[in-house]
Amino acid sequence: MSQTPAFLSNAQSRARWMRNDVAHLLKRFFFCERSLLVTAAAWIPAVGPLETKIGLARFIWQGAETAHALRDRVFELRFPNRILEEQGTDHTLIALFNSVKDSPSVPAFLLSIGKVLLPALRDAYQEYFGASDTIADGPTHRFLALALSEKVEQIAAFERWADSALSQNSEWREDALSWMRTVADRLSDVGGVGVGPAPSVSTAWGALPGAKTFVIPDRPARDPRFWPCRFYWPDVVDPTYPYGEGLQLQIRSAISHLNDVWAIETGGVILYSFADVLPWEWIHNSARWTYDEARHCQMGYQRLMSWGFEPAEIPLGTYIYESASGEDPIYRLGMLYFFETKNIRHKPARAQLFHDYGDAVSEHDMDFDWADETIHAGYGRHWLKELLVVRGQDPNAHERVREHCDKLVSDYVSTATPEEVAGIKRIAGAIMTKAARRS
Ligand SMILES: [Fe+2]
Ligand SMILES: [Fe+2]
């Protein structure tokens, strides 16, 4: 007589991964997302096309939201907190992700992320769906499905931007393609992203062949379609030039919004600069901050285009970004905070004026912008204080940082040449003449 088994078993594959296995994988994904978004943030000033700057800002925000959800989920799985501060056995993989920051050129950066690292992460998420348990791990499935669809969109955009960058800089083609192959080979050497166990032995790799040590650009790249300048409206360099009302206020506000391009770049630079100094919440907040500034920039661009202007007629400046170049990056954080708090009080009144003019789009944009800026002023105050604390300084010194930013900007504005002042007055005059004809 056969003996009855003492235990039940079943053939279901649901138990393929135990709680700790899942936590390890999600932690790996967290570090991949974190690395990609920090690198993308650092590169925002170096890319020229406005569409790419705005798109990168949006993708780093998506990455930060995914990373945030991954991090929370790892904690839910009762993973010891301190372990989430280290990459552990995925160290070699994450070191490879981080090394893309030292890409030798814009096309090399776009290709290595768009053709290698993002597809590897997309494939890993797909594998994860195929193998994880929809019951026990349901909460992960919800946000990872969104992350997967965003990866598909990100890959398509990076490919498009890389093609366009290569078509304008064909001399970089060979180097960029060879960099992409180097990253792909090294990724394969370290075992890819995947959902398998991390290699038991971590290898210490040197810099990738062809790498160029990343430095924050002193001058931001600008979309060549626009009228290039440092000072983007006459009132910046001439205090007697009025900000204006009516038609002039409609134009001035749209020009201001478009020129929030400096704030996208500054958001990216500070996210990167303090990523390893401040806690995770810093990256989460500054990614959102950078994305919000990209939305403001897009608002201005769309309003100007819808009024019939050509990019070549529109000034796109650099002065606020350049005012803080060569300074401690705390002054870039200070610069964002300084401008948020300087302008926020005017916004509700301007939204009301646009309402009175019957300009619903300007009113709408200004009203949303005002809500964003209120969040940003809070970020600025909070993180300036936190950064001073981390540096062992008095957190109340944040007002001094702000005051120094005011001085940096006025010193920089004082370098405007008579030709620049005349040039921006001519451009502004031409815009107002065209606007008056169209109104
Ligand atoms: Fe803004
Ligand atoms: Fe802002």
What's the pLDDT tens digit per position in 24-38? 999 999 999 999 999
pLDDT score of 3: 66
Residue 172: predicted pLDDT: 86
Supply 202's token pair.
């971590």
* Ligand number with the minimum distance to the CA of 378: 2
Which pLDDT does position 12 carry in this prediction?
76
- Name the CA dihedral angle for 84, 85, 89, 94, rounded to a multiple of 10 degrees: 110
pLDDT score, position 255: 98
Q: Tens of pLDDT along 202-230? A: 666 788 999 999 999 999 999 999 999 99
Please give the distance of CA 390 from its chain centroid, rounded to a whole number: 23
Q: Are 153 and 87 in contact (CB under 8 A)?
A: no
By the 8 A CB rule, do 316 and 229 touch? yes
| Ligand 1 centroid to residue 263 C-alpha, Å | 7
Ligand at shortest distance from the CA of 293: 1
Here the contacts of 369-378 (C-beta below 8 Å, separation 24 or greater) are 369/257, 369/296, 369/299, 370/344, 372/292, 372/295, 372/296, 373/340, 373/343, 373/344, 373/347, 374/344, 375/288, 375/289, 375/292, 376/289, 376/292, 376/336, 376/337, 376/340, 377/337, 377/340, 377/341, 377/344
Which residues of 1-136 form beta strands (DSSP E)? none
Ligand lying closest to the C-alpha of residue 341 = 2
**316 - beta bridge partners?**
228
Centroid of ligand 2 to alpha carbon of 141 (angstroms): 33
Collect all residues with Cβ–Cβ distance below 8 Å to 403 and sequence separation of at least 6.
Answer: none
**Of 262, 246, 390, 361, nearest in space to 302 by CA:** 361
Burial environment of residue 204 by CB neighbours within 10 A (0 to 12, 13 to 18, 19 or more)? exposed
Find the 168 Cα to ligand 1 centroid distance in Å.
30
For residues 401 and 388, give the distance between their C-alpha atoms in angstroms, rounded to a whole number.
10
Rounded CA-CA distance 75/27 in Å is 10
d(CA 258, CA 300): 4
Q: What is the pTM of this model?
A: 0.96
Cα 72 to ligand 1 centroid, rounded to whole Å? 29
Which residue positions in the chain have pLDDT lower than 50?
none
pLDDT at 89: 80
Asked if 376 and 339 count as a contact pair (C-beta separation under 8 A), the reply is no
- The environment of the single-atom ion ligand 1, i.e. residues with CB closer than 5 A, is 260, 293, 296
**Closest ligand to residue 297's CA:** 1
